Every structure is written in C-alpha cells, then in structure tokens.
Amino acid sequence: MKRLAALVLCTLALGAACSRTSSAPAATINGTEIPTDDLVEELNAIQANTDYINSLQGGGAAVGGFTVVGATPGSFDAAFVSEVLLRELNYALIHAEIDRRDVAISDECRNQARNDALLNLGQGDATVGEPLFNKFPKRYQDLLVDRNAEVIALQANLDGQECGKGPDAEGYYNAHPEQFAKICISFIAVADQATADSVVEQARGGADFATLVQQFSIDPTSKASDGALGCALPSAFAPTVAALLEAAKAGDVLDPIPGDGGFSIVKVTDHQLAPLDEGCAPGDASGNPCVRTQAEELATANARRAFDDWLRQAHADARVTIDPRYGEFDPATFRINPPTLDRNPASSSPSSEPPEAP
C-alpha cells in the first residue's frame, strides 16, 4: 500500500534556477520562510544520486515518469523545481501543525517513516529502495525521515491513533460496530416478476417465509434449508444489494431483486456483530474475510480522510508568496505554475493534488 511517504519522493525533483545568488526566500507560507539555500541544498543532495534521478525519469513523463533535466545542458527542469518548492510548502504546513498540537515523534514512528521511505523508493520493495536511500547524504536521509515522520504522526493524531503502532483496528471496530454487523438472510428464487411480486406481498402480509420457500423457490440449495443462507458481512454482497440489506431491519422483506435467470426475494432475519478475529485464523469455518484486516483497512482509510480534510482546509487558509524565479502561485488550486525558463518540452505540470496519505 502506498503511503503518504511518497510525498517525500515527489519532492526530489531537480529544477532550473538552482543557485545561492539571492538572499530572498524561495517562498513564504503563513509568515514562515522557505530559504533559497534550503531548496538548493535539497537539489544538490539529489543531484549526485544519479540512480535515483534515473528511477524518477523511468519511462518519461508520458507514462508517469518525471522530467528532471532542463532543455539546456546542465540545467534542471523548471517544472520540477516548482514541484520541489510546492512540496516544501506542504511540509511547512505539516510541521507547523505538529508544533501547534505538540505531537511527539516516537522511535516507533521514526522507524515506520524510514521503512515507508524505503518502500516508496523501491516502488514497494524495501530491498530495492535501501541502496537508493543510502546514496543520499546522511543529513538528507535524516531530513527525509523527519519529514515523513511528521506526516504520518499528524495523520495518526488527527484520527486519534498513535504513530508507529499501525492502524488501530480494535479502536475502529469498537467505534463503528455497525460496519461489522453481519446480516442474516433467507431468500426465495423465482423465475418471473409476477411471481416475485406475489411472494413479496404474501411474505409482507404475514405468510410463513419457510413455507413460501417450499412452495415457490426454484433454487434447490436454499430450499433444502427453508431459504436460510446464514450471516455475512455487507462486503460479501454486491454493493447495491449490501446497501439495501444494511438499511433493512430484522424481519423486513426487500423488493424483488433481479438477477440472472430470475428474481430473488430476500428477508433479513437478524443482524449480528462479527467478532473482531472472525475469519482470521487459517481454515476458519465462517467463510467471512478476516474482520480485523477489514477494520485495519477502514481505520487507514478513515485516517487518510481526516488528513485530506485537514490539508484541504490548510491549503484554503494558507498565505503564500513565491519568488517569481520559481513560478506563480495559484491559491485556488494550491499549485505553482512554473516559469517557462529552461522548461523541458517533455515535462509535465506540477501536481495540483494534495499529498498522499498513508
């Protein structure tokens, strides 16, 4: 799974105008300066790592790679520099929020940050990413880990989780029991709409559902159990059907559901909370996917949403100025439109998307 640590990798783009000829900051955000020297230092750190540059440019911009070099020999693409600076603005916002919230960065959090950096450098393979990481200067390695640690620590804090401990499956499960309620159903399969409508009317009128199964169902498997199909989590059903089942109360009979070769009449018989570790042990007889794994995935998605919501608001509230050498800031999209100076014709525009969450 890609994490927000990928943001670190996206900043490592080289660009034009890489010099220490001006004492003016490269940018300011909410009164905090992004020194030109810091931008240049980052570019110099990456410039020597040719293997990393090659990995960034792999495939070219047309297939998702970055354009690193500028049109002039020895220069760097201007759009890349603008992207570097844009990412530094994001990191400044995150650092300020970490300070405001007084979020402590634990050793576990830093370890997660470093591991995520290796995974992203290696495109999911830490053994590939580690040699690339090791080719950066030690000071720059530390900077990458520090930045990434602040990103994942803030994401965890915004969602009430603890950085470095992984997604809080149990906490999410306890806070959202309705998302882990198994739905128990019985069903009748019929061949045509008219029969389906008649069966629904009788079932809703109080007719015994098991008797209706024996009388009308054309499905021998469910008929053998008087229509009972057992209990499953909503994720086991098609999304449109799951939405109907989740909205129904025990005892409700749904409208006929069309399918291949006929119609299904479904009765919700019960809602049962699935145990957190159901489906997780090898050979589990429940037939359900691991509930804990689903809780971890939902907790991760919830944390990502919390971070994205915070970042969108932070972008909207930010006061940003940019040195014109690096482009023009567009507050409506929170992006930097790069200057045309030494822009490689093959380069792509900086991303207007917010940083990825873990």
Question: Do β-strands 335-337 and 181-190 pair in parallel, antiparallel, or remain unpaired?
Answer: unpaired
* Cβ within 8 Å of residue 73, ≥6 positions away: none
Residue ranges, CATH 3.10.50.40, the chain: 175-285
CB atoms within 10 A of CB 277: 12
Residue range 6-170+296-337 forms a domain whose CATH class is mainly alpha
Per-residue pLDDT of the chain (358 residues; tens, 9 = 90+): 233 222 332 333 333 444 444 578 999 999 999 999 999 999 888 888 888 888 887 654 443 456 776 677 667 788 888 988 999 999 999 999 999 999 999 999 999 999 999 998 888 899 999 999 999 999 999 999 999 999 999 999 999 888 988 888 999 999 999 889 999 999 999 999 999 999 999 999 999 999 999 999 999 988 999 999 988 888 888 889 999 999 999 999 999 999 888 999 999 999 999 999 988 888 766 667 889 999 999 999 999 999 999 999 999 999 999 999 899 999 999 999 988 754 455 554 444 343 433 2
The model's pTM: 0.73
Q: How would you list the strands of the sheet with 262-273, edge to edge?
A: 228-232, 181-190, 262-273, 257-259
Residue ranges, CATH 1.10.4030, the chain: 6-170+296-337
CA distance linking residue 236 with residue 352, whole number of Å: 36
CA distance linking residue 106 with residue 112, whole number of Å: 10
Q: Which fold has domain 175-285?
A: Chitinase A; domain 3 (3.10.50)
